[in-house]
Structure 1
């Protein structure tokens, strides 16, 4: 059994549509983690009732094989600031829920216009575009600019892309710059009793809104045939509402409102014609009306507006019309035609060809094909030397700057009174124990110190390093060529590959960090390696953070052309070499304290208990998490932090573009001097 994550454009208990029907079919052979469309918690009681469970990623079983994850949002979900917070909440709820699944995740199907793919490993990412979301932005209540941003992000992350119709696939392909397959809507063929007697009744099933052509409906109603209308009113335009009122008030119209799918199926056994009177709009031309196939699944012939998706079905059981008068005439003609055995067979054959089971099989094949492609792409390439057919190992070295002399802003931080003593305490408390606790000890560790270090520090080095866990080197600076020389001397360069990892002297690592980074497959050298998940510890709390370009960076390179994790800023290594981002459990821990060069809390507040085993002794002294703190942080404080980080990143990028990387340090120095002057004045 494997899990498929289905990120839906609707809620589970909404009117059954593409997402729900496809998920139900997939659940026959998979566990499906259904992710609801985000909705305001103030509007939906069930979202409020399961708020804490949702935030913890605890899904609720709603059908055999299907677990539902509700996504809470603040009021005004379509507003810019709330949209941003909703994205953060969604990402964290989904990541947590995926981590809780009992089965491996085969893939993520994202059919949502507003939710992004989750980050980190989650199998194959399949983007399924169910409608022309840009053209339907007014119906959805979101700006086209926002929908475009989300779609572009998902297109970039997707391993495979499908759309519900050929026309929509062509549009998305132009935007994506790559091929897009067609995954049309389906139906569930019903077993109708032989010799079933149907009434001369016409049916319209589905939502009543601006997608319908009221001119066509008025023309059909004017024939005075009995017309059964099933579905909720979801219109927004006042003019359309007035005309719909008049249509539903006609004496030959029987409007039943929204009904259960089982009740709809029962009523469809009594009708003789189903109609799909869609307006000829850009949105509808890219859509695939579900109701057309639902009629056929119930054994009912169809009269429909002449739209591309209806022509694509290509069934003789569907009559197409191009005008209100043609549509009304086709309805009357279909009512008069007897239901022969041949017609029944044509309808049944079409329904079986386009069943939801056929569609889900198409999805499974697509996921499996992509898995094969990914396996081939990441297959490790053996590095050999002449006369040796065995794979070569790796020389792994952790690099730490303890108190190297430095210019710019960092020199101001290190000049603070007590800075060195504080670093000694943090090194002994977090950094040193985490290296000693590594499950795989086949690494070296170089710690660089200032040659002008005080005598008490050199005495401390000799005392704390009695077991020789690190190599202490004293340098005024470490240029690239001298670093390579140091690495060769410490390791002996006995293997084909060099692996270097940056580790700050006040941070810590999970006990399996060395093993995980060594086992990461790189298809080319050099490559930067990032273990993305980590923890941030403040004085009394722990935060879970996903940082794909974190400071605990590693670089794998060949000894014939060596390069290291110090060859560029940790977040810019990917600009000069390939970058590999891996997920899993938290791999590192950043410690926030008063003397950080960069001192900011980021991520989501979490209970430290589940992480104690991988960070032995590093998470003690944390205040127990209260439910109130957890909810407030996820709904409000984390959003504030995320907005702050986004603004900071945008400002930093702008400065680098104008002044270069050195400009950042100059501005920090200027601001640091300004703060000192202000303190003196006060």
Structure 2
């Protein structure tokens, strides 16, 4: 990278560096939802995790440089930095080198943007970037990373060590559930923030006007939207189908899911798997649903999570049946039924479907979701940054 970026930010809005746990284009999850709303309030430099040169060699023309960093504007107010790093990043020495490369790449990107950061948010345990003196450092745990290390194919010991370092240097410590953030051992004076996942309430406001999707099941159905992976309890879906409930599954299937068991489930006449679908088609599938499902396996990792799907069901006006999660308490709605075990879960689904779609209750569900809109989450994070900045002379607020 060399020279100022064409179209670099010229406003006097503050700049936040956001080091994400996933690449910008991979899938739209917590980080990207939050950053898009932050960008309505501040400018954002989004930093991808370091990318092995072995992967970048396969880039087609126009997909970015194969050997050097790339800095591009990917959304209004959002500049994305892609960092090329050595292969074998899981090895300790190479990982250390990759992190140093990332920090230098961020510094070069800031020079090109001709800006200094007023805050750095890291939503991954690895210290991809450290905020300079006078800026606010934020650690944002979007999951219980240590509890989920095995699922993510990472070392729990390594993640615990990295997270302790993040907590020691952070001015603001945030997590997706209150229970998770309260468990963190942080230094005195650090701002502690519960920052649950949100939803794009506007996106699902017209769900009932969306065209019904092509599928062999007659609505209303019980539906599950999202990645079908090891977090999903297949026994709960099997029990629901056993009750004769029409079951719709929307999303990609992880290779770790038992293929024979999954195939036996979707081969039932009352079950339809729609496969991966683009986000713009989700309202159509949600329209077909009479109840949305959040059927998670009971693990410490899952209990501390905050599934996006739960709020998206509510934003579409649908009731929800979920396994016990901290997120359900955060939402605080009677429209989210909680059930443990296959029989109880299936019964709760049957009852939710029988409740119908009363207009007042639909409006109430949408109002609940609107209170958890991503814009609300962005404001909460910026307020926490402002609170931390107030404790540090010379640090200006991160808001407009």
Using structure 2 for the length normalisation, give the TM-score: 0.86
Distance 1:118 1:28, change over 3 A: same
Q: State the distance in 1 between where 2:338 and 2:211 align.
A: 25
CA apart distance, 1:267 = 2.0
The answer for the alignment partner of 2:343 in structure 1 is: 325
Gaps of 5+ in 1: 379-682
- Which consecutive segments of 4 or more residues in structure 1 shift more than 4 A? 46-49, 175-179, 193-198
Alignment pair present for 1:145 and 2:164 = no
Say if 1:304 and 1:318, in contact at 8 Å, map to a contact too. Answer: yes
Alignment pair present for 1:191 and 2:205 = yes
The answer for the alignment partner of 1:215 in structure 2 is: 235
Alignment pair present for 1:111 and 2:107 = no
Residue-by-residue CA offset, 1:37-64 (whole Å, 9 max, x unaligned): 2333323544995346853xx4111112
Say if 2:68 and 2:83, in contact at 8 Å, map to a contact too. Answer: yes
Equivalence map 1:506-585=2 (5 Å): none
The answer for the alignment partner of 1:59 in structure 2 is: 71
The answer for the alignment partner of 2:306 in structure 1 is: 288
Equivalence map 1:32-71=2 (5 Å): 32-44=44-56, 45-46=58-59, 49-51=63-65, 54-55=68-69, 58-71=70-83
CA apart distance, 1:117 = 3.1
Distance 1:271 1:293, change over 3 A: same
The answer for the alignment partner of 1:25 in structure 2 is: 37
Equivalence map 1:277-316=2 (5 Å): 277-316=295-334
Distance 1:78 1:292, change over 3 A: same
The answer for the alignment partner of 1:168 in structure 2 is: 180
SS at match of 1:246: helix
The answer for the alignment partner of 1:455 in structure 2 is: none
Q: State the distance in 2 between where 1:356 and 1:124 align.
A: 21
Alignment pair present for 1:273 and 2:296 = no
SS at match of 2:296: coil
Alignment pair present for 1:96 and 2:142 = no
Gaps of 5+ in 2: 1-12, 213-218
The answer for the alignment partner of 1:340 in structure 2 is: 358
Residue-by-residue CA offset, 1:172-196 (whole Å, 9 max, x unaligned): 2x36676632011100112226788
SS at match of 2:34: helix
Q: State the distance in 1 between where 2:352 and 2:48 align.
A: 40
Say if 1:192 and 1:269, in contact at 8 Å, map to a contact too. Answer: no
SS at match of 2:197: coil
Say if 2:191 and 2:384, in contact at 8 Å, map to a contact too. Answer: no
Say if 1:169 and 1:182, in contact at 8 Å, map to a contact too. Answer: yes
CA apart distance, 1:260 = 1.8
CA apart distance, 1:119 = 5.0
Q: State the distance in 2 between where 1:361 and 1:305 align.
A: 29
Say if 2:208 and 2:287, in contact at 8 Å, map to a contact too. Answer: no
Say if 1:206 and 1:231, in contact at 8 Å, map to a contact too. Answer: yes
SS at match of 1:14: coil
CA apart distance, 1:228 = 1.9
Alignment pair present for 1:11 and 2:29 = no
Q: State the distance in 2 between where 1:70 and 1:186 align.
A: 26
Residue-by-residue CA offset, 1:282-336 (whole Å, 9 max, x unaligned): 1011111111011111222111102222122111211111121111111111111
CA apart distance, 1:95 = 1.9
The answer for the alignment partner of 2:9 in structure 1 is: none
Task: Give 1 or 2 for the bigger CA radius of gyration.
Answer: 1
Residue-by-residue CA offset, 1:378-426 (whole Å, 9 max, x unaligned): 9xxxxxxxxxxxxxxxxxxxxxxxxxxxxxxxxxxxxxxxxxxxxxxxx
SS at match of 1:274: strand
SS at match of 1:229: strand
Alignment pair present for 1:349 and 2:367 = yes
CA apart distance, 1:243 = 2.5
Distance 1:67 1:306, change over 3 A: same
Say if 2:53 and 2:67, in contact at 8 Å, map to a contact too. Answer: no
The answer for the alignment partner of 1:250 in structure 2 is: 268
Using structure 1 for the length normalisation, give the TM-score: 0.52
How many corresponding residue pairs?
373
Distance 1:72 1:253, change over 3 A: farther
Residue-by-residue CA offset, 1:501-529 (whole Å, 9 max, x unaligned): xxxxxxxxxxxxxxxxxxxxxxxxxxxxx
The answer for the alignment partner of 1:442 in structure 2 is: none
Distance 1:377 1:73, change over 3 A: closer
Say if 1:315 and 1:346, in contact at 8 Å, map to a contact too. Answer: no
The answer for the alignment partner of 1:202 in structure 2 is: 222
The answer for the alignment partner of 2:215 in structure 1 is: none
Q: State the distance in 1 between where 2:131 and 2:245 align.
A: 54
Say if 2:53 and 2:86, in contact at 8 Å, map to a contact too. Answer: yes
Say if 1:117 and 1:154, in contact at 8 Å, map to a contact too. Answer: no
Say if 1:37 and 1:112, in contact at 8 Å, map to a contact too. Answer: no
Q: State the distance in 2 between where 1:296 and 1:284 align.
A: 20
Residue-by-residue CA offset, 1:80-122 (whole Å, 9 max, x unaligned): 2331222122111122212322444221111013244325347
CA apart distance, 1:250 = 2.8
CA apart distance, 1:75 = 3.0
Say if 1:116 and 1:154, in contact at 8 Å, map to a contact too. Answer: no
